[in-house]
Chain A
Amino acid sequence: MTERRRGPAAPARRLAAGLSTAATLGLISGRIPGHARDAHPEHGDRHQSGADAGGRGPAPSRRATGAGRPHPGRQAPGTSATAMTVAADGTVHFEDGMEDYLW
């Protein structure tokens, strides 16, 4: 009677439940490669009033933070060190054509 209620695949179902829970916990703990907070959606494009609402607020865009921008001393791959110069005020100057390559 009990076996009938449990179903013929009860052990396999229990195994599936255990594996699913373990997989979820594994993903949550960040053990899966590439599963990082950086993978968060482009929250900078939304939550315009997030900070006012008490949340963490919008994350600044890459352009605003300068993420991905060339920094002083950084050399574009395959170029000479003089292909790009960064002034003291942060302005970046490129040789002809280099801007398209970088941006």
Chain B
Amino acid sequence: MVTDGIWWYVARSAGIVAWILLATSVLWAAALASRLFVKRPKAPWILDLHGGVSNLAVVFTGVHLVGLYLDDYVEFGLKELLVPLTSTYRPVAVAWGIVAVYLLAALQATSLLKKRMSHKAWRKVHHLALPTYVLATVHLFTAGTDASHAALSIAAYAVSGMILALGLTRLWAPKGRLPRPARSAKASASPAKTPATATEPSSG
């Protein structure tokens, strides 16, 4: 077990794990939006896991920042951690990470306050998830000392490719909310509905 410079290891490890969690969360949300999974896994399950993974990404990002703050090998104070371009070490690369943290904080705050704000406003803020992922990825590969790891590069290309593919799938998906199998079953059972209307995806 490494004891010398433990906080440096904590910062790097938590940073990598936070990026993996963020990527998973965005990928999960893209899968949900693409409507590839209508029956299984079900939307509430995907949403619940998406929320849980997002929370974990916030927690591990916090651990990443605490590790950087406590590490005395690379000196990061509060100013360097919170104000972009104040770090002497790769200022631009670090700035991408700081902006990503702010976006992540906005995403998390609006999700916690979702019930107290309009769905439209929440949705607009939530669209920042993709730029957050892009900034975090740029930060990982420009500021991170583990960028040369082949596994990370492969993961970044794979996740980005899947998000792009799912985003394109979303463009061809029907507009509106996800179809609800229970409702369509009821609708088809109802004598008032014609077969044509029963098969239409619900929009609302």
By size class, the interface of chain B is 35 or more
Show the binding face of A for B, using Cβ within 8 Å. Answer: 7-10, 12-13, 16-17, 20, 23-30, 34-35, 37, 39-41, 43, 46-47, 50, 55-56
Contact B75 A55 (CB under 8 A): yes
Contact (Cβ within 8 A) B146 A7: no
Q: Which residues of A contact B2 (CB under 8 A)?
A: 28-30, 37
The answer to whether residues A27 and B12 also contact, given A39-B145, A43-B73 and a CB cut-off of 8 A, is: yes
Bound CA span A24–B52, Å: 17
**Which residues of B are interface residues toward A (Cβ below 8 A)?**
1-2, 4-6, 8-10, 12-14, 16-17, 20-21, 24, 42, 44-46, 48-49, 51-53, 56, 60, 63, 72-75, 88-90, 145-146, 148-149
- The answer to whether B17 touches A27 (Cβ under 8 A) is yes
Q: Are A23 and B146 in contact (CB under 8 A)?
A: no
Closest to A50 in B: B75
Q: List 24 A-B contacts (CB under 8 A).
A: A7-B48, A8-B45, A8-B48, A9-B46, A9-B49, A12-B52, A13-B53, A17-B56, A20-B17, A20-B21, A20-B56, A20-B60, A23-B16, A23-B20, A26-B13, A28-B2, A28-B9, A28-B13, A34-B148, A34-B149, A37-B4, A39-B146, A40-B73, A55-B72
